[in-house]
């Protein structure tokens, strides 16, 4: 009798945890990427970027996932502060388009600067959550 009760409770816990497992939503994933750009880790960037990522800069340079990660981890491209504003999100099924304005203080190879961009990002919803599939910046 007691073991039945335990199974019942276990069942409840399992259902609850599987149905309501917290995966970051799209806003949280955008925020996670923003933080990772300021404090990049290879693990964090690798986890948030899709392996087919196409990452386009405002001046025409296009990076794949490896190049995108390397630029940040090596500090060739660095950010001391990033502010996102005017954000819009459109979601169709497992695809999300996020646009925002990007205002940042940069530290590229030790050189301080400021940058103001419009950004389009494309996200895919996967088992672990939203991952970055494509990005294009424009001035």
Partner 1 sequence: MNKNIAFVFLALFAFSCQTEKDKTTTTSEAIPPELEIAAVAEAVNTLKERLIEPTEENLKAISHPDLTYGHSTGTIEDQAAFAEALLSGNNDYRSYDISEQVIKLEGNTAWVRHIMDAEVVIPTETLNVHLNVLTVWVKKDGKWILFARQAVKV
Taking the least distance from each CB to partner 1, the nearer of 35 and 99 is 99
Cite the DSSP H helix spans in 20-121: 26-38, 42-48, 65-73
Out of 22, 43, 60, 109, which residue is the one contacting partner 1 (CB under 8 A)?
A: 60
* CA–CA dist 13, 18 (Å, integer): 8
Nearest CA among 96, 89, 101, 87 for reference residue 123: 96
CB of 125 to partner 1, least distance (A): 9
Residues ≥6 apart with Cβ < 8 Å to 45: 36, 68, 69, 72, 73
Residues 76 to 105 in contact with partner 1, rule: CB under 8 A: 88, 90, 92-95, 97, 99
Q: Where are the beta strands (DSSP E) in the chain?
A: 49-56, 62-63, 79-92, 95-108, 111-126, 129-138
Out of 25, 58, 103, 105, which residue is the one contacting partner 1 (CB under 8 A)?
A: 58
Stretch that binds partner 1, among 32-40, 55-63, 76-84, 106-114 (CB under 8 A): 55-63
Is position 1 an interface residue for partner 1 (rule: CB under 8 A)?
yes
Out of 22, 39, 109, 127, which residue is the one contacting partner 1 (CB under 8 A)?
A: 127
Stretch that binds partner 1, among 36-44, 53-61, 73-81, 102-110 (CB under 8 A): 53-61
| Residues in contact with partner 1, shown as a per-residue x/- string from 9 to 48 under the rule CB under 8 A | --xx-xx--xx-----------------------------
Radius of gyration of the chain (CA): 19
């Amino acid at each position: 009798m007691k073991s039945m009760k335990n199974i019942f409770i276990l069942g409840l816990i399992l259902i609850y945890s599987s149905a309501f497992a917290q995966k970051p939503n799209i806003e949280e994933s955008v925020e996670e990427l923003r933080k990772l750009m300021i404090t990049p880790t290879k693990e964090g960037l690798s986890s948030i970027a899709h392996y087919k990522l196409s990452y386009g800069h405002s001046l025409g340079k296009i990076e794949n996932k490896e190049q995108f990660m390397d630029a940040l981890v090596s500090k060739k491209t660095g950010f001391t502060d990033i502010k996102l504003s005017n954000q819009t999100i459109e979601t169709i099924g497992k695809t999300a388009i996020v646009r925002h304005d990007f205002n940042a203080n940069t530290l590229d190879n030790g050189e301080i600067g400021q940058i103001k961009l419009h950004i389009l990002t494309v996200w895919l919803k996967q088992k672990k959550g939203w991952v970055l599939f494509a990005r294009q910046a424009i001035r």
